[in-house]
Amino acid sequence: MNALRNNKLRTFLSLLGVTIGIFSIIAVLAAVDSLDQKIKKELSSLDKNTIYLFNDTFGPSSVPAWKREQFPNVNYAEFEYLQDNLPDAAQLSYQIFLKWENVKYEDKTMSNVNVVPVTHTFIDIQGFEFTEGRFFNASESNSGATVAVIGAELAEGLFGTLNPLGKQVRMYGQRFTIVGVLEKKGDGMFGNDDTSIIIPVNFIRRALGENKSMTPVIVIKPVKGVDMEAFKAELTQKLRNYRGMKVDEDNNFFINVFSGFTDLIDGIISSMNIGGWIIAAFSLLVGGFGVANIMFVSVKERTNLIGIQKSLGAKNRFILFQFLFEAVILCLFGGLIGIGLVWMLTILLTSALDFEFILSLGNVLKGTGLAVLIGVISGILPAISAARLDPVEAIRSGM
């Protein structure tokens, strides 16, 4: 400790390298873990066997993009056919993805509102929770009634402290009666339900028709315990038959199982972790070389002292551990400072952004262990060189 204290500038520069290295790796791991946890929390309400049937794919595909663009959209008639002919489907819903719209209430306007046209069965798949009201029923859904369910932020922006239930908002040149308000969830990877308005899909079909600018999707939730491969094969055959496709024709639709999407996300998270380790490894390498260099200088400066210690009976392992502990303590301090900076950063970002950053105990232990490991690796050679010094030559070199 005295040796580190007596050479403040040198100690600071050595600490800096290790601090940056540990900060880099722990910051990346904390960010990736926070993202992973948020994604899993959002996906926890959805069944992993849920299927999204439409003319595109969630992940990579051997079908070229130009060919996928020629695939026909799924339509409402196919949804009704599958609803009547898939015995192993617990629930099906028809959804159309649209561009954002402006929603008005009296003199207030909310822009860039996510419009979600769906059938009434969507709630059984998505599992919405309400602060007020309800979801629209089968009669309202089938008739394309002008009723709507809105997110918490949209309700607050349009109505303030007023109760939204029964109030009417304007959209697509029509007045929609609010029948439900969703519980606040925060921004998610699939959009923000808090700023969304959910309406019956048959209103959109009647008012706007179905065209290429829209993206219709059939969402299917199989019964629990179903053989997914057999279910996908049956679904494929049913839709091919309905479309009158020949045996030698390739499928012109994609069966996207939600578990495949979660596997894709896990793969991305894993790649981000690996990338973080690679980036941080260069910082740690520079920091380790810096500590090793400082320790060699320290050995050179204290050669005379080493000779005196050995002449008084100090064994080689005593000298070795003396310098090795110095390197480990130096790196440990640097690591703890780096972890402390990450902890402060997570607090600042969590308060500034609508995203919870988490510094887990596991990452703290990883950072601490890594700092100690760097200290051992970078300090072992200088410590060995100090332990092997001849006491007479060491004392003479300081005269």
What is the residue extent of each domain of the chain? 2-42+271-397, 72-252
End-to-end Cα distance, the chain: 25
One digit per residue, pLDDT tens: the chain, 399 residues?
676 677 777 777 777 778 888 888 888 888 888 877 777 776 665 667 888 998 888 777 778 888 888 888 899 999 999 999 988 888 899 999 988 889 999 888 888 888 999 999 999 888 788 999 999 999 999 999 999 999 988 999 898 888 999 999 999 889 999 999 998 876 655 556 788 999 999 999 988 877 767 889 999 999 888 888 899 999 999 999 999 988 888 888 988 887 666 666 777 778 877 877 787 777 777 777 777 877 787 777 777 777 888 888 878 888 888 888 888 888 888 888 889 999 998 888 888 876 778 888 888 888 888 888 888 888 888 888 888 877 777 777 655
Residue 65 half-sphere exposure toward CB, CA atoms < 13 A: 2
- What pLDDT does residue 262 have? 67
> What is the C-alpha separation between 219 and 90, in angstroms, rounded?
11
Query: Which of 228, 372, 382 lies closest to 295, judged by CA?
Result: 382
Q: Tell me the residue ranges of DSSP E strands in 13-99.
A: 51-54, 89-97
49 touches 257 (CB < 8 A): yes
- What pLDDT does residue 385 have? 83
Q: Which helix (H) or strand (E) holds 25?
A: helix 8-43
- What pLDDT does residue 147 have? 94
- What pLDDT does residue 187 have? 60
- What pLDDT does residue 377 have? 86
- What pLDDT does residue 27 have? 85
Q: What is residue 251's DSSP assignment?
A: P
Which tokens is 193 given?
């339900």
- What pLDDT does residue 47 have? 62
- What pLDDT does residue 93 have? 94
Does this model's pTM top 0.75? My answer is: no
SS3 letters across 144-186? CCCEEEECHHHHHHHHCCCCCCCCEEEECCEEEEEEEEECCCC
